């Protein structure tokens, strides 16, 4: 087994385990916090975190551009260039960290406006924002610099393992301190220890794995290719990702923000599993493109797209069948607001699918360093998203907010597919079209079936048993369809039929 395949297996396995643990802990802690501290305080915490995440976007494309710049020197084992790039990343990230600190201080000083929508007083709110910002500050100043080399060297499994330790420590600290009787502000203060533990482990592992690498180089490279484009890509992507919670926090109450967070938590949980495949394939595609192995790139992309759409179809067909009964069971004891909204469920499903359909094309653009073109697409998406969401949220509330996001996603999908079809001639447009049609038919059919299948369960054991049946039947059904489509003659026949 060659090193590329071995690393891919390690990375996918570790990230899969990490995502599973994160999802399970995330669902438990969200419910735990709502039941112990209320939907309003949960919504306030989410709103503060979202604003702090926006400030953290000053880190921008620093990590991404360094990762891209490291592909070639790592391939050539050029230690001098690697150390220069690592020193550059430390310098840029330090500046970004101080910028984040500046914005956070301004936010703390201007945070009084939140008190009108919250039960916290000014002093408590000040401490709450400060405590929530500290883990982000640590990640930007210290953890991010280790992430760059590990991602570029295709050792994401190390990041996943340290992240698993962080999630478990964070979970235990919150659980124990809440049960002891501390309020949420003190609980989040104790939880900072989990981030510090992760940092210490990364420091030890980096020095053990890379004894010849360090961040001490004083020769700062100002001409890192595409740095500004990558920066804007990450900033705009972060803005788009956080837009639902941010706009909901402005136009809607914190209880509605809490409802939206539950729906997005579920959709993002499914999406995170699927994204593992894309996240891990990019460094391999990037290295192959850098080595000018065009035939291998074509072969890798075809296999990647095929399995990606198979997994996407399976995942969201299962989600469409299970989301409503799960939400009814999950929110059973949350009585301070209504968490079951069928129209919002449908829109969240559609938004999740649209967000992932473009991932294969985005991956090849990222691996090829097409950051400027990606930036242009993202600018169009964020402008359309903000304009549509502001108008539609004011008129239709949460339904309008999600509708605006869906329309903006459709616009970006059109831009990406048009560009990649012209730029990369090896991409089989007809195959992609058929994959999308099959995805739409299966997921829509699954959603319709929810009106005729069991929708209420009294306990998680019954729900798990039902879920296993859904998984097995769906897996068999989706696998058979995609294996049939994998035959060239079958695809050719379908294309002739469509014509």
Among 210, 225, 240, the domain-final residue is 225
Q: What is the pLDDT of residue 279?
A: 65
Q: What is the dihedral of CA 322, 327, 333, 335, to 10 degrees?
A: -150
> Do 212 and 268 have their domain in common?
no
> Do 221 and 235 have their domain in common?
no
Q: What is the pLDDT of residue 497?
A: 45
> Do 266 and 200 have their domain in common?
no
Cα gap 369→286, rounded to integer Å: 8
Q: What is the pLDDT of residue 118?
A: 62
> Do 189 and 324 have their domain in common?
no
Could you list the pLDDT tens digit for every one of the 499 residues in the chain? 566 667 777 887 888 888 889 888 988 898 899 889 888 888 888 778 877 877 777 665 677 777 777 877 887 888 888 888 888 888 888 888 888 888 888 877 776 555 555 667 778 888 888 999 999 889 888 888 888 888 888 888 899 999 999 999 999 999 999 999 999 999 999 999 999 999 999 999 999 998 888 888 766 555 555 556 666 776 777 778 778 888 887 888 777 888 888 888 888 888 877 876 666 666 667 667 766 676 777 788 888 888 889 999 999 999 999 998 888 888 887 776 777 788 888 899 999 999 899 888 888 887 777 777 888 888 899 999 999 999 999 898 889 999 999 999 999 999 999 888 888 877 778 888 889 999 999 999 998 888 777 667 888 888 889 999 999 999 999 988 888 877 654 555 445 544 5
Asked if 348 and 340 touch (Cβ cutoff 8 Å), the reply is no
Q: What is the pLDDT of residue 1?
A: 54
Range of the domain at 429: 229-499
| pLDDT tens for each residue of 250-264 | 888 777 888 888 888
Among 180, 197, 225, the domain-final residue is 225
Cα gap 310→314, rounded to integer Å: 6
> Which H or E run includes 310?
helix 294-330
> Do 183 and 308 have their domain in common?
no
Query: How is residue 389 written in tokens?
Result: 């969401």
> Do 63 and 199 have their domain in common?
yes
> Do 253 and 336 have their domain in common?
yes
Query: How is residue 173 written in tokens?
Result: 């600290």
Q: What is the pLDDT of residue 124?
A: 84
Q: Where in 52-192 does DSSP place strands (E)? A: none
Q: What is the pLDDT of residue 121?
A: 74
Q: What is the pLDDT of residue 489?
A: 46
Cα gap 299→35, rounded to integer Å: 50
Q: What is the pLDDT of residue 30?
A: 86
> Do 192 and 241 have their domain in common?
no
> Do 170 and 233 have their domain in common?
no
Counted domains in the chain: 2
Long-range contacts of 392-401 (CB under 8 A, 24+ apart): 393/247, 393/248, 393/251, 393/252, 394/251, 397/251, 397/252, 397/256, 398/248, 398/252, 398/256, 398/259, 398/260, 398/341, 398/344, 399/343, 399/344, 399/347, 401/244, 401/247, 401/248, 401/251
> Do 258 and 301 have their domain in common?
yes
| pLDDT tens for each residue of 293-325 | 767 777 888 888 888 899 999 999 999 999 988
Cα gap 357→432, rounded to integer Å: 10
> Do 139 and 29 have their domain in common?
yes
Query: How is residue 16 written in tokens?
Result: 């899969």
> Do 206 and 301 have their domain in common?
no
| pLDDT tens for each residue of 398-410 | 899 999 999 999 9
Query: How is residue 93 written in tokens?
Result: 């990230």
* Closest CA relative to residue 352, chosen from 257, 275, 441, 448: 275
Half-sphere exposure of 419 (CA within 13 A, CB side): 19
Among 225, 244, 279, the domain-final residue is 225
Place of tokens 């990222």: 366
């Amino acid at each position: 087994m060659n090193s590329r395949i071995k690393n891919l297996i390690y990375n996918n396995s570790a990230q899969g385990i990490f995502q599973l643990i994160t999802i399970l802990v995330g669902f438990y802690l969200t419910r735990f916090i709502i039941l112990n501290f209320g939907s309003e305080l949960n919504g306030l915490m989410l709103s503060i975190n979202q604003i702090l995440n926006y400030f953290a976007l000053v880190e921008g494309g620093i990590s991404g551009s360094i990762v891209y710049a490291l592909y070639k020197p790592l391939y050539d084992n050029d230690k001098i260039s690697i150390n220069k790039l690592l020193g550059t990343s430390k310098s840029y990230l330090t500046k970004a960290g101080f910028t984040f600190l500046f914005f956070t201080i301004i936010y703390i000083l201007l945070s009084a406006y939140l008190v009108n929508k919250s039960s916290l007083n000014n002093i408590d709110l000040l401490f709450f924002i400060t405590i929530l910002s500290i883990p982000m500050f640590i990640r930007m100043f210290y953890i991010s610099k280790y992430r760059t080399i590990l991602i570029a060297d295709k050792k994401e499994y190390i990041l996943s393992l340290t992240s698993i330790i962080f999630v478990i420590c964070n979970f235990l600290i919150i659980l124990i301190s809440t049960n002891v009787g501390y309020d949420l502000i003190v609980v989040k203060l104790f939880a900072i220890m989990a981030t510090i533990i992760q940092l210490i482990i990364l420091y030890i592992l980096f020095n053990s794995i890379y004894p010849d690498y360090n961040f001490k180089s004083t020769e700062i490279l100002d001409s890192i290719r595409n740095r500004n484009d990558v920066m804007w890509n990450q900033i705009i992507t972060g803005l788009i990702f956080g837009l639902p919670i941010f706009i909901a926090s402005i136009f809607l109450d914190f209880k509605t923000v809490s409802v939206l967070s539950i729906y997005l938590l579920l959709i993002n949980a499914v999406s995170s599993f699927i994204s593992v495949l894309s996240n891990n394939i990019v460094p391999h595609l990037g290295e192959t493109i850098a080595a000018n192995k065009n035939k291998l790139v074509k072969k890798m992309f075809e296999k990647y797209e095929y399995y990606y759409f198979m997994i996407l179809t399976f995942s969201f067909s299962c989600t469409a069948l299970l989301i409503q009964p799960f939400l009814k069971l999950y929110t059973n004891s949350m009585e301070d607001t209504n968490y079951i909204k069928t129209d919002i469920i449908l829109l969240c499903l559609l938004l999740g699918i649209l967000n992932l359909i473009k991932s294969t094309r985005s991956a090849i653009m990222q691996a090829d360093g097409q950051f400027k073109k990606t930036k242009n697409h993202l600018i169009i998406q964020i402008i359309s998203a903000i304009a549509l969401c502001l108008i539609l949220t004011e008129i239709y509330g949460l339904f309008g907010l999600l509708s605006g996001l869906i329309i903006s996603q459709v616009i970006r999908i059109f831009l990406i597919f048009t560009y990649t079809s012209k730029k990369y001639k090896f991409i089989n447009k007809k195959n992609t079209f058929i994959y999308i049609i099959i995805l739409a038919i299966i997921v829509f059919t699954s959603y319709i079936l929810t009106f005729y299948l069991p929708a209420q369960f009294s306990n998680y054991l019954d729900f798990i048993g039902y879920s296993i049946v859904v998984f097995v039947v769906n897996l068999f059904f989706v696998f058979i369809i995609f294996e049939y489509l994998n035959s060239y003659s079958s695809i050719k026949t379908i294309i002739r039929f469509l014509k």
